Amino acid sequence: MSSEPTLLLALDLTGTFTFGLNGALTAVRAARLDVVGVVTLGMMTALGGGVIRDVLIGSIPPATFRDWRYFPLAVAGGLIAFGLSKRLDRLEALITVFDAIGLSVFAVIGASKAADFGLGIGPALLLGVVTAVGGGTIRDALIGQIPTVLRSELYAIPALVAAAITVATIQMHVYGLAAALGAAAVCFVIRMLGVRFGLNAPRPPGAGADPSTPDSDPPASGPADRQ
């Protein structure tokens, strides 16, 4: 990630911390795990998408293992969630904002890195989304839940839009810091609109409400069960 603009790297690290906190908070509420389980799920949420992307494109070892800052940030988020989980509800709105920022930046960085490795438009779009939502999908599978990205509000769609804008600007040879931030901003706005108005992707005709979740799950509009 060191080749990315400094601002994007800073946002990437911020997103890593926030997703570590979100993933750990999900573990605290939904799975009732001990401190090891909580921190482990926090780390998987924060780091999983980037590791999957790097392995798929052959960037070995993954950036997570080459930059020492990722692991401490993910662990710190997990420990904070474990120690202060009851108080984190008061910060839900702020965490949701940072969650949306992390989603946006991860989608842009994932797509741009895939393009840097010479992949086509389709794979670059896919890896942009995988980078943004992959960690949370792993976490949800481990605690026995249908990944929230598949059933609640707009999450993968904003990431796909950001990845598409990124790939388009790369194809037009105008990609740079401004284009990257613009793509991230579009993703952020769509995501926050989804949270604000409870928007969802279209469901099959005749489908009912969202599948029920355990009472211990975080609220549907909260960031702890996404990403």
- Asked if pLDDT for residue 207 goes beyond 80, the answer is no
- Asked if pLDDT for residue 84 goes beyond 70, the answer is yes
Does residue 70 form part of some domain? yes
Q: Who's near 58: CB < 8 A, 6+ residues apart?
A: 117
Does residue 1 form part of some domain? no
Q: What percent of the chain has pLDDT over 90?
A: 41
What is the per-residue pLDDT for 220? 41
- Asked if pLDDT for residue 83 goes beyond 50, the answer is yes
Does residue 220 form part of some domain? no
- Asked if pLDDT for residue 221 goes beyond 60, the answer is no
Does residue 217 form part of some domain? no
Does residue 219 form part of some domain? no
Q: What number is the average pLDDT over the span 109-123? A: 92
The number of distinct structural domains making up the chain is: 1
Does residue 66 form part of some domain? yes
Q: What number is the average pLDDT over the span 17-46? A: 85
Q: Who's near 85: CB < 8 A, 6+ residues apart?
A: 25, 28, 29
**140-188 pLDDT per residue, tens:** 898 888 887 787 668 899 999 999 999 999 999 999 889 999 999 999 9
What is the per-residue pLDDT for 82? 86
- Asked if pLDDT for residue 111 goes beyond 90, the answer is yes
- Asked if pLDDT for residue 227 goes beyond 80, the answer is no
Does residue 169 form part of some domain? yes
- Asked if pLDDT for residue 193 goes beyond 50, the answer is yes
Tell me the CB-side half-sphere exposure of residue 92, using CA atoms within 13 A.
14
- Mean of all residue pLDDT scores within the chain: 83
What is the per-residue pLDDT for 5? 58
Asked if residues 1 and 64 have their Cβ atoms less than 8 Å apart, the reply is no
Q: Which of 47, 109, 120 is nearest to 78 (CA)?
A: 47
- Asked if pLDDT for residue 190 goes beyond 90, the answer is yes
What is the per-residue pLDDT for 85? 75
Q: Which domain holds residue 70?
A: 6-201
Does residue 213 form part of some domain? no
What is the per-residue pLDDT for 88? 66
What is the per-residue pLDDT for 30? 74
Q: Does pTM top 0.85 for this prediction?
A: no
